[in-house]
């Protein structure tokens, strides 16, 4: 299957370990020496509509990708950012 980088941006990334949707691919890291894709970058979610910045980006190594399908990308990803491990209430975003 041949896929353009533009096509990757529309695909949702799902972690097969826990079924969590990580978001859509926002960027791709490419090694310019070997011309290989190194990782996919998913930008962190906005905090309070972007007024308080955004959460940490999720970087998925190319080795962690299981399947690139027509609609989704399935990854086996161990390390979850701390913002996805627990639910946060409204006041926590002001103090972290």
Summarize pLDDT for 16-51 with one digit per residue, the tens: 998 889 999 999 999 999 988 899 999 887 777 767
CATH architecture assigned to 5-95: Roll (2.30)
What span, in angstroms and rounded, lies between the C-alpha atoms of 48 and 59?
A: 22
Radius of gyration of the chain (CA): 15
DSSP H helix total and E strand total for the chain? 3, 7
Segment 73-87, tens digit of pLDDT:
999 987 654 444 444
- Please name the residue that has the structure tokens 């399908």: 69
Q: What is the pTM of this model?
A: 0.71
DSSP 3-state helix, strand, coil percentages of the chain (rounded to 5)?
Answer: 20, 35, 45
């Amino acid at each position: 299957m041949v896929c353009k980088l533009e096509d990757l941006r529309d695909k949702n990334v799902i972690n097969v370990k826990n079924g969590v949707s990580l978001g859509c691919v926002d960027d791709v890291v490419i090694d310019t020496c070997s011309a290989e894709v190194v990782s996919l970058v998913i930008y962190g979610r906005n905090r309070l509509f972007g007024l308080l910045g955004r959460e940490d980006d999720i970087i998925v190594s190319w080795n962690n990708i299981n399947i690139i399908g027509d609609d989704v990308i399935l990854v086996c990803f161990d390390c979850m950012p701390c913002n996805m491990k627990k639910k946060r209430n409204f006041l926590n975003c002001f103090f972290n």
